[in-house]
Structures are given as structure tokens and as C-alpha cells.
Amino acid sequence: MEAAQVIGVSLLVEATSATLEAAKGKLSPAAYRRAKHVIEEIARVDVTVKLLRTSDLGAVGKLLTASHRSSQTLFENSTAELDFLVDELEGRRMSMARA
């Protein structure tokens, strides 16, 4: 809510990365990070929908990992168990890519 008000939009879905960056100095660090996650997550969802329509599951998987990492670091709402699962799956994906 704080970020949307500072940026001058009703909802963060109306904001862009550029408008967020322009308002960065007016936001608390936590509000900036969380707004950045939300704005980037909206973009990831849009891309994911397009990739699912073309059955590009490898690219979808990478976006899901990026979504988790953003949630973990920017929104700070992950758990150790979820982080472990994503780390394990990412490690297996990397091992399969090298094979």
C-alpha cells in the first residue's frame, strides 16, 4: 500500500519497474523490496502464461525458480523447508543439464 501511494497508483499492478525506480528514494527499503517483488512477479506471471501456451516447460521452471528466489529475498516470506526443496530441485536440474 505504501509503495502504491508513493508511486501514485491505486494498485502495484498499475506500476512499472521504471516508476518504482523513480520513487525508490521515497520508500523504505522494505517497501521498495516488496514492491519490486510484486511488480516483477506480475511480469513473470504474464510471461509464464505465454510459455505455458507453447508448452515451454523448461522456461516455465526457470521462472518458477526466479519467483521463489524473489519471494525469498525481496518479499522475505519463504521458509527453510521451501528453500531446501527449491535448492534440491535446482541442483538436480543443473546436474541433468550437465549430463
Q: At 52, which CATH number?
A: 3.30.70.890
pLDDT at 87: 94
pLDDT beyond 90 at 9: yes
What's the confidence (pLDDT) of residue 59? Answer: 95
Vertex 61 angle, CA 48 and 4, to 5°: 50
- 32-48 pLDDT tens trace: 999 999 999 999 999 99
What is residue 77's predicted lDDT score, i.e. its pLDDT?
94
Number of domains into which the chain is organized: 1
Location of C-alpha cell 519467483:
67
> What domain range is 28 assigned to?
2-98
Q: Quote the CA–CA distance of 38 and 36 in Å, as a whole number.
A: 6
pTM for the full model?
Answer: 0.88
Collect all residues with Cβ–Cβ distance below 8 Å to 12 and sequence separation of at least 6: 3, 4, 35, 38, 39, 42
**What is the predicted pLDDT for the residue at 93?**
82
Average pLDDT estimate for 5-12: 95
- Are 67 and 41 in contact by the 8 Å Cβ rule? The answer is yes
**Mean pLDDT, to the nearest integer, of 9-14?**
96
